[in-house]
Amino acid sequence: MKQVEQINKDRVVMGFDERKSSKEIEVILKETFDVVDRKHSEFDIKIEGKEITFLIKNITYLGNPHPTYTKRIQLSNGWEEKLQNENTFIIGIYNFKGTRLYVYFDKKNFVNRRLNNSSAHVWANDLLKGFQDGIFQKIDIRNNEIFVLREDKFYEFVKEKLVLDKNIQTDEFEFFEDLKSSLGSNWNGIDCYKEMIRENYPNKYQAEWAGFFFEYKFELFLQMNTKYKSICEFNKQKKKGSIDLDIKFKKGFYGDLKVHSKSSSDILGNDAKTIFGSVKKDGKLWYIVVNHSTVKDKDKGYVTTEYWNKALRKEDLRSYHSRMKHSVKLESLQILEINTYNLNHISEFNQGANSNSLLRNPKIKINKKALKNFLIYESNI
């Protein structure tokens, strides 16, 4: 066995996996539920006059050579038929030194496939957020939805979602979904410039228009959806010496907007000093990231380049032509959380020197391989 990252209340520590036998899981469930029957990892539960079935497995380390924060439950052969029953659900149980968490895995992506050696995945950061928040909801790029539930929230979740079939969404999750729907799927450079110019947006003439159009769209989204002002506000007043980040969340932390080309492996962030200071002060920080594919303007006859230079009344209509984007196709929206735990999994990126030979401050970099331990939401656009 190998020591891996474990959740000890609201801290992440190194330790060995703890596994419970089916009999021990039955004893645990009986503290809260009426357990009608047990067969291996299959538990029949009676709740609110309705009988449902849990297929339960221990949450443990994914195994070498995977990072120590990767975890899973292993799905059993024979579950395929059982999952056809609408009242049968996949549950992971996590135990470590008295910390107990449950993970509900949406079964829709497992129902119609063979489960031989299949796993359902969860990461240490997901478990940590479940303990901290009581209930943590997540969706990934494959549209797998999970809920991580602290022990004291599990019964209510089972009753509301699995028995009464209520739609459960955290406020933040609803915010992410509506934001994604507001973005569109294709941004054309000239059209984006025209819209920002028409609305007299402060950064309407920036060469890297895609990033500033995202800021524009985000501000517009908050203006059009005033209910989300209870979640965050756009940080317009960036005074010298203040935090240079785009968003202030009402729960007392900051965030920033990023556009990221899918051809780039790592996500480059802000000034490292800013990020480390913000996370250490507030406990966490969110990146709201739009991933996109890019059409270069040089491959489209320099039309966006020339439009931009004419708008700025420049004589050289090909200025910036090698870097100008013609258009971008939005691929996905990601929300990344950097917190005091996974801060240790980011690295610094040295930018080199300015034209005056003074060294630029290093920025943070989130390696693609470590990305899943930062993701709290991901969905195709």
pLDDT(105) > 70: yes
d(CA 147, CA 289): 22
**Above pLDDT 70, what percent of the chain?**
94
Report, as an integer, the average pLDDT of 351-371. Answer: 72
How high is the mean pLDDT of the chain? 91
Question: What is the structure's pLDDT at 124?
Answer: 95
C-beta atoms surrounding 306 within 10 Å:
18
pLDDT in tens, 61-76: 999 999 999 999 999 8
pLDDT tens sequence across 281-337? 999 999 999 999 999 999 999 999 999 999 999 999 999 999 999 999 999 999 999
Q: How confident is the model at residue 118 (pLDDT cuts 50, 70, 90)?
A: confident
pLDDT (tens digit per residue) in 133-154: 999 999 876 778 899 999 999 9
CA distance 267 to 368: 7
pLDDT value of position 356: 54
CA–chain centroid gap for 204, Å, is 29
pLDDT of 351 reads: 60
Q: What is the pLDDT of residues 203-235, one digit of tens each?
A: 999 999 999 999 999 999 999 999 998 999 998
User: How many Å from the N-terminal Cα to the C-terminal Cα in the chain?
Assistant: 41
Is the distance from CB of 1 to CB of 17 less than 8 angstroms?
yes
Whether residue 99 is predicted with pLDDT greater than 80 in this model: the reply is yes
Tell me the HSE value of 361 on the side-chain side, using a 13 A CA sphere.
Answer: 10
What is the three-state SS of 41-61? CEEEEEECCEEEEEEEEECEE
Rounded CA-CA distance 192/307 in Å is: 11
Residue 173 pLDDT class (50, 70, 90 cuts): confident
Helix (H) or strand (E) holding 27: helix 22-30
Nearest CA among 47, 50, 58, 49 for reference residue 21? 58
CA nearest to 375, candidates 331, 330, 337: 337
* 146 Cβ contact partners less than 8 Å away, ≥ 6 residues apart: 103, 104, 105, 106, 120, 122, 126, 137, 138, 139
* Distance from C-alpha of 169 to C-alpha of 52, rounded to nearest angstrom: 22
In the structure encoding, which two tokens stand for residue 118, read together?
């299949």
Q: Using a pLDDT cut of 90, give the percent of the chain over it.
A: 75
**Residue 240: which pLDDT band, with cuts at 50, 70 and 90?**
low
* β-bridge pairing 325-339 and 284-296: antiparallel
**HSE, side-chain direction, 13 A CA sphere, residue 354:** 6
Phi and psi at 298, nearest 5°, equal -65, -20
The pairing of strands 253-261 and 284-296 is parallel
pLDDT band at 241 (very low <50, low <70, confident <90, very high): low
> Other C-beta atoms within 10 Å of 123: how many?
23
Decide: 376 and 135 in contact? Cβ < 8 Å. Answer: no
Q: What is the pLDDT of residue 86?
A: 93
* Dist. CA 222–CA 165, nearest whole Å: 30
Q: Which two tokens stand for residue 18?
A: 């703890």
**Beta-sheet pairing, 88-96 with 50-58:** parallel
pLDDT at site 111: 78
Alpha-carbon torsion, ordered 294, 213, 381, 372, to 10 deg:
80
Contact by Cβ (8 Å): 176, 150: no
**Buried b / exposed e along 149-167 (16+ C-beta atoms within 10 A):** bbbebbeebbeeebbeeee
Q: Six-digit token pair at 338?
A: 């950097």
